Amino acid sequence: MTRHVDSRAAKNAEHALAFLRKNELQDFAGLMEFCKDLYRELGGIQEELKHFNHREKTLKEHVRQAEYLKEFQPFYKAHQSLKLRKQPQFYEAHRREIMLYESAKRYFKEHRIEPTSKQCREELNRLPERRQPFYQKYHAIKEQSQQADKVRYGVENVLRREKARTRPQHRNRTRSWDMER
């Protein structure tokens, strides 16, 4: 069992040393700073990805509202073209369609954008290819930060054991009342 543990520890130490050399890290403080930089970079990429996700959600809503406008416009126009006494009956029969059309109209007015789903669809279709490099970079940095954390934990463990080994051992003191007995 100890032989297996020793070989695993040796392999871990070998990987740690290779990681430190590859990233040109000389001391523990440098390793800690390297880890902090990786986490900062991850945070920045996460913010970019949030921006893409928010934009995607917004574009999907634009497309949905534009489709409502296009789909329910005939109901709205038919309602408007009827004589006043026939409008309530038609409205009750097609309440959902008319309300969705009016809601979509308000949506575009409030957002001050043109109700064209074609442009939104095109941008929505281009979004994944624009987002992909950020995901690749995110996964690469995340993997590197996990390796750095493993090395950092290993180094902290070694330092802790070394500190415990060099700490002066307290002698067993006998209490004066124990000696009297």
What is the value of pTM for the model shown?
A: 0.67
The confidence band for 145, taking pLDDT boundaries of 50, 70 and 90, is very high
CA distance 32 to 152: 7
pLDDT at 179: 55
Asked if pLDDT for residue 181 goes beyond 60, the answer is no
Q: pLDDT for 99-133, tens place per residue? A: 999 999 999 999 888 877 788 889 899 999 999 99
What residue spans define the domains of the chain?
25-156
